[in-house]
């Protein structure tokens, strides 16, 4: 079992081996309400991708179908060469771990230790091996100091960590996170992002549902947008941010950093478009050719370069 804390900082690059393949998948509850419409996409090993869409667009149902927690989909869902069905569901669930949006729904045993033990126990671990798994998972996710605590004594952040540790103890290759940042304070969100990063560094495939684009860790590069159960976008986040109509349709807002970039660009253009064109500053001069910054770091670098060029121009003029 890999260790989350002991891994190096180098991020494992995604491979081109598809671990999840959806082909023309549709799903409806009781053959009445169509939730998913002809979805097709694939996810490679080590990918970190986010599912976006308005409430009720079918994101969570997609996850439930992936684990065969609801049955009756049409089309084909393949996880690590296993066609998801009643026959293969147990094997699929060994490979795919899900962290539900509401931790209260996920934690059903009295204490943290029992909760973490549940998964590995079902995988056949017992005695010392089981104990080792529990301790290892608890230490890796940072819940080793609350092992004996009752679940109902935990804060929301602790519950979320325990839910992750409970899945981590099963050592799945694929992690599904259903709105992991919901109802958490900023510090806990940062801690959670760190856990996601560590899982990514271990080469785990991470699929995440979120509405909070500001909180997405930088290594999430790919996005799929769902609207009324159908795929409306599949590409990089950077591309997505330049498609405002898709964001609007999905009830999403561009991240603050993109808004800030647009704001600065517009302000500079208002002040003196000719000067800006002349100095060739990155922000306003040629926005089409320059990728939109999607992180604060990227924005900061662009701003630095632009300000340097403006200052150079001013100095040249005064000389």
Partner 1 sequence: MASLAKSLNREFQNYLAFEKEHTRATLFFSVSPLIKLLHTVWLLLVVNTFLPDPRFWATLSFGLLLISLMVRINFSRLMKFVVILGILYPLIVAIPILFITPGNVWATIPLGEWITSNPNAFTITITNEGIMVAGIYFLRIFTNVTVVAFLILSTPFTHIIHALRQLKVPTVFTSLLMLTYRYFFFFFENLVSIIQADESRHVRKLPFIQRFAHLSNLFGNLLLRSLHQGVNVHRAMLARGYNGEFPLLEFSSNRKATIIYIAIILVYLGLGCFFYFIW
Nearest residue (CB) to partner 1, 123 versus 228: 123
- Taking alpha carbons only, the member of 237, 228, 238, 229 closest to residue 208 is 237
Q: How far is the CB of 311 from partner 1 (least distance, A)?
A: 57
Q: How far is the CB of 43 from partner 1 (least distance, A)?
A: 18
Nearest residue (CB) to partner 1, 131 versus 214: 131
Q: How far is the CB of 110 from partner 1 (least distance, A)?
A: 5
Nearest residue (CB) to partner 1, 62 versus 302: 62
Nearest residue (CB) to partner 1, 98 versus 197: 98
Nearest residue (CB) to partner 1, 134 versus 226: 134
- Alpha carbons within 13 angstroms on the beta-carbon side of residue 17 total 12
Q: How far is the CB of 130 from partner 1 (least distance, A)?
A: 7
Cα separation values, 124 from 97, 127, 128, 177, Å: 17, 10, 12, 25
Dihedral sign of CA atoms 136, 142, 145, 146 in order: negative
- Taking alpha carbons only, the member of 66, 88, 295 closest to residue 177 is 66
Nearest residue (CB) to partner 1, 64 versus 257: 64
Q: How far is the CB of 66 from partner 1 (least distance, A)?
A: 10
Q: How far is the CB of 134 from partner 1 (least distance, A)?
A: 8
- Would you tell me how many other CB atoms lie within 10 Å of the CB of residue 87? 10
- Tokens, residue 296: 């604060």
Nearest residue (CB) to partner 1, 59 versus 93: 93
Q: Which residues bind partner 1 (CB under 8 A)?
A: 64, 67, 69, 89-90, 93-94, 97-98, 100, 102, 104-111, 113-114, 117-123, 127, 130-131, 148-153, 166-167, 170
CA separation for the pair 113, 149 (Å, rounded): 8
- Taking alpha carbons only, the member of 175, 151, 173, 170 closest to residue 162 is 151
Q: How far is the CB of 167 from partner 1 (least distance, A)?
A: 7
Decide: 107 and 156 in contact? Cβ < 8 Å. Answer: no
Nearest residue (CB) to partner 1, 84 versus 268: 84
Q: How far is the CB of 183 from partner 1 (least distance, A)?
A: 14
Dihedral sign of CA atoms 72, 78, 83, 86 in order: negative
- Tokens, residue 107: 């934690």
- Tokens, residue 249: 């349709």
- Tokens, residue 21: 């393949």
Cα separation values, 175 from 172, 202, 208, Å: 7, 12, 8
């Amino acid at each position: 079992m890999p260790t989350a804390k002991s891994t190096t900082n180098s991020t494992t690059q995604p491979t081109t081996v598809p671990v999840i393949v959806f082909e023309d998948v549709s799903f409806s509850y009781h053959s009445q309400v169509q939730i998913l419409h002809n979805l097709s996409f694939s996810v490679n090993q080590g990918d970190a991708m986010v599912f976006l869409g308005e409430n009720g667009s079918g994101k969570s149902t997609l996850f439930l179908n992936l684990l065969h927690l609801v049955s009756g989909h049409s089309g084909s869902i393949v996880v690590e060469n296993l066609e998801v069905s009643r026959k293969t569901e147990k094997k699929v669930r060994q490979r795919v771990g899900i962290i539900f949006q509401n931790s209260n729904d996920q934690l059903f045993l009295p204490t943290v230790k029992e909760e973490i033990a549940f998964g590995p126990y079902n995988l056949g671990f017992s005695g010392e091996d089981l104990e080792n798994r529990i301790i290892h998972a608890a230490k890796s996710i940072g819940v080793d100091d609350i092992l004996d605590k009752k679940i109902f004594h935990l804060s929301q952040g602790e519950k979320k960590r325990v839910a992750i540790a409970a899945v981590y103890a099963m050592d799945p290759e694929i992690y599904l996170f259903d709105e992991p940042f919901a109802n958490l304070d900023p510090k806990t969100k940062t801690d959670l992002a760190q856990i996601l990063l560590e899982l990514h560094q271990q080469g785990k495939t991470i699929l995440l549902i979120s509405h909070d684009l500001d909180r997405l860790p930088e290594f999430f590069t790919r996005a799929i947008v769902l609207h009324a159960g159908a795929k409306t976008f599949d590409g990089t986040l950077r591309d997505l941010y330049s498609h405002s109509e898709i964001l609007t349709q999905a009830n999403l807002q561009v991240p603050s950093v993109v808004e800030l970039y647009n704001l600065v660009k517009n302000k500079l253009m208002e002040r003196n478009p000719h000067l800006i064109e002349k100095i060739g500053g990155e922000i306003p001069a040629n926005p089409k050719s320059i990728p939109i910054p999607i992180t604060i770091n990227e924005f900061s670098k662009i701003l630095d370069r632009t300000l340097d060029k403006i200052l150079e121009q001013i100095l040249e003029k005064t000389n």
